Amino acid sequence: MSEWVIITNKGFSSDDWMSRSVIEPANILSSNIGEEQLKKCQLKLGNDFQVETLKSFLPYLNAISIDFPSAKDGRGFSHARRLRQLGYLGVLRASGHVMVDHYRHATQSGFNQIAIPPKLAKRMPEPYWQQQIDNFTPSYQEKLQPGSTTSYSSKNNILIKEAKKIQNLNLTNTGFVGVVVTKVIHWTDWLFSFRVARPKNFRFQSGEFVMIGLPKSDGKPLLRAYSIASPSWDDELEFYSIIIPNGPLTSQLQHISIGDNLILNPKATGTLVLDSLLSGKRLFMFASGTGIAPFVSLIRDPEIYEKFEQIILFHTCRGVKDLNYGKSIVETISKDSLIGEYADRVFYYPTVTRETFHTKGRITELLKTGQIFQDLQLTPINPDTDRAMICGSLALNKDIKAFLVTSGLKEGVRNHPAEFVQEKAFVGLNPIGLGQSF
């Protein structure tokens, strides 16, 4: 009998890998295992293994398990995502101390199966898992497949509306997909956030951006770059936008409501990813306006807490109300089952420049005077231990960069990690900040 209880999207099941012989990376890398044999075995990976070294073997493997030695060690999620990015198409199993709260994150990272010891299954029986499985919103596109029998009662209206609108959007051969809006919140008269259902198989790294928008009157897509504000494990995608009164996109986008269709180019990219930084102890994030979006993605991803001991998030806005979106997300961290335990490692420092507030002034000024470090009781920036990310207006990016360079940090890019990174994709596109369009 298998020592594991297997969980898939159908609930508990038996282990169908029993007949597969177990191999470890060293077996593949050092000996000559033939393609046929690779197809029939299961590869067991520790969670500290460099998955890149297996790239050339991935097309032949059908079954890979990644070890989760403790519930607090989430490195396996990053390995899973990396394997999928490298093109692994077979079954991926998370084995060990995976908690029921991690179901969503595991699935979004690319796992198809979770294997837990019977003792853990006793503490977390099938109904607990089933609840997670049921709550995990499947992709709307999948639900619309002909012959789909799954009921979707509470969101049925959205589904029908989406079906119609997707047909109206002619996206054939464009590479773009239609995504349905699931939530809209207006934070002020000029700032709003919205969520859309995540397309099936769409993967991204927390901190990246995509192109999203609406069809123009001639039917052609009008897309702008928006950072994804939700973390990589979320089953929806969240965005944060300013409204430019005469801007072709945002003047229309501000009117969207639940069930509407948007157009998404499902290719995520960007520099504000953890892979662009060398390892360090503290990560400083500098944002102005809607530039906070990539950072609220990153701070909701457990990976950041594996890589850094402290996260310090600075957000400068003109008015107090402009802070509400970021503040509300920072406040949810302590209640989040996935990252709640790390909440005391996040330092949030909002500042306002054009209204009365307890921390008033431009972030650049507060950095120069050392006020920030005094208030947070932190030591000044040190290139040996500190890393930074910047996302804001052209002027803010330039000034923060100058401060970091003076402090001894060097700029990195995705393929060349260093001590700080800035998102340039938006800078210069518009003078106001990220995720904003004309």
Binding site for ligand A2P (CB under 6 A): 288-289, 316-318, 353-354, 362-364, 393, 395-396, 399, 432-433
Q: Please, what is the minimum distance in Å from the beta carbon of residue 242 to ligand A2P?
A: 8
Whichever of 37 and 353 has its CB closer to ligand A2P, that residue is 353
Q: Please, what is the minimum distance in Å from the beta carbon of residue 437 to ligand A2P?
A: 14
Q: Please, what is the minimum distance in Å from the beta carbon of residue 289 to ligand A2P?
A: 4
Q: Is residue 402 within 8 Å of 325, Cβ to Cβ?
A: no
Q: Please, what is the minimum distance in Å from the beta carbon of residue 33 to ligand A2P?
A: 56
The two most distant CA atoms of the chain are separated, in Å, by 70
Q: Please, what is the minimum distance in Å from the beta carbon of residue 186 to ligand A2P?
A: 17
Distance of CA 114 to the CA centre of its chain: 21
Secondary structure tally for the chain: helices H, strands E: 15, 18
Q: Looking at this protein, which amino acid is placed at residue 22?
A: V
Closest CA to 284 of 205, 193, 401, 415: 401
Q: Is residue 387 within 8 Å of 419, Cβ to Cβ?
A: yes
Whichever of 123 and 318 has its CB closer to ligand A2P, that residue is 318
Distance of CA 100 to the CA centre of its chain: 20
- Classify 318 as helix, strand or coil: coil
Q: Please, what is the minimum distance in Å from the beta carbon of residue 400 to ligand A2P?
A: 7
Q: Is residue 420 within 8 Å of 413, Cβ to Cβ?
A: no
Whichever of 267 and 354 has its CB closer to ligand A2P, that residue is 354
Distance of CA 176 to the CA centre of its chain: 20
Distance of CA 385 to the CA centre of its chain: 24
Whichever of 57 and 187 has its CB closer to ligand A2P, that residue is 187
Whichever of 249 and 427 has its CB closer to ligand A2P, that residue is 427
Whichever of 182 and 393 has its CB closer to ligand A2P, that residue is 393
**How far, in Å, CA of 163 to CA of 143, rounded?**
10
**How far, in Å, CA of 387 to CA of 369, rounded?**
20
**How far, in Å, CA of 129 to CA of 39, rounded?**
30
Q: Please, what is the minimum distance in Å from the beta carbon of residue 315 to ligand A2P?
A: 9
Say which residue the tokens 């990153």 belong to. Answer: 298
Whichever of 345 and 362 has its CB closer to ligand A2P, that residue is 362
Q: Is residue 342 within 8 Å of 305, Cβ to Cβ?
A: yes
Q: Please, what is the minimum distance in Å from the beta carbon of residue 313 to ligand A2P?
A: 15
Q: Please, what is the minimum distance in Å from the beta carbon of residue 357 to ligand A2P?
A: 10
Q: Please, what is the minimum distance in Å from the beta carbon of residue 352 to ligand A2P?
A: 7
Whichever of 267 and 318 has its CB closer to ligand A2P, that residue is 318
Closest CA to 286 of 358, 224, 348, 239: 348
Whichever of 169 and 396 has its CB closer to ligand A2P, that residue is 396
Whichever of 29 and 402 has its CB closer to ligand A2P, that residue is 402
**How far, in Å, CA of 243 to CA of 258, rounded?**
18
Angle at 221 between CA 220 and CA 226, to 5 degrees: 165
